[in-house]
Amino acid sequence: MRNAELLSIHVHPVKAFQGVSPLEAEVEPWGPVGDRRWAVVDDGGKVVTQRQQPRLALAAAEPLPGGGVLLSAPGLAPLEVAVPEPVGTVVVEIFRDKVEGVPAAPAAHAWCSAFLGADVRLVHMDDPATRRPVDPEYALPGETVAFADGYPLLATTTASLDALNSLITRGEHAAEGPLPMDRFRPNVVVGGTEPWAEDGWSRLTIGKVAFRAAKKCGRCVVTTTDQTTAERGKEPLATLGRHRRIGGKLVFGQNLVPLTRGVIRVGDPVRFLG
């Protein structure tokens, strides 16, 4: 894999929304700057994702200077949301974790509620260095994450997507393929590897930034959601269930934790250290 390189970068400022694909991104210990620092929560404080609301795929969030976001969605006027002052927090439940979040301004709550047709709020993670640790079963001491599912970055490879799409074409739902990479909502996409090479990653560098591979990524119903229409199908879970069931999970991609800070850029070489 001497010619492996970074093909694309993806940052999702609001969890479950569409994001942006910059040519470079600064990497902090908890992930790319601005990635998943915001989340929508229901009236009980639970984070709402495309698992419950596939319609979130139609909403977009662009980063603004200072950490704010520009929200846009069909049928609604765009809304600029500034980072709220951390003068009061609310308890946010994300999977098994309960963490502190800072509510956005009321206008943001109204905008998100109007889009989903439900009573929801937008919250911001003010201090990802202290708010939420990475799953201790797979973490090193002190590792933290923002509102991502569980780890600071998710990496995928084009070779594995090609292999998966080839399998889909031979399955019962061939008409749903080929699937684009956005179904898997990665942060970094790597080219120049063998299919499924990421299963064996241990440590790697992207440009000058070092990472460790923490855990293969188990996939959920979000991957069956067309990110342009919000409609759901059967793939890729049907095919992953036949060919990529590892440890009871349907696996595609590798979760990464940064070991150093720095800037990664599209075209950077990717080197594997074991």
Question: Please, is 6 exposed, middle or buried when counting C-beta atoms within 10 Å of its C-beta (0-12, 13-18, 19+)?
Answer: buried
Q: Which residues of the chain have pLDDT under 50?
A: none
- The pLDDT of residue 17 is 98
**pLDDT > 90 in the chain, percent:** 97
Q: Residues 72-111: pLDDT tens digits?
A: 999 999 999 999 998 889 999 999 899 999 999 999 999 9
CA angle in degrees (0–180, nearest 5) for 203-209-213? 25
CA gap 195, 257 in Å, rounded: 22
CA gap 165, 175 in Å, rounded: 11
| 151 backbone φψ class: left, alpha, beta (φ>0; ψ -120 to 50) | beta
- The pLDDT of residue 1 is 58
Q: Residues 196-205: pLDDT tens digits?
A: 999 999 999 9
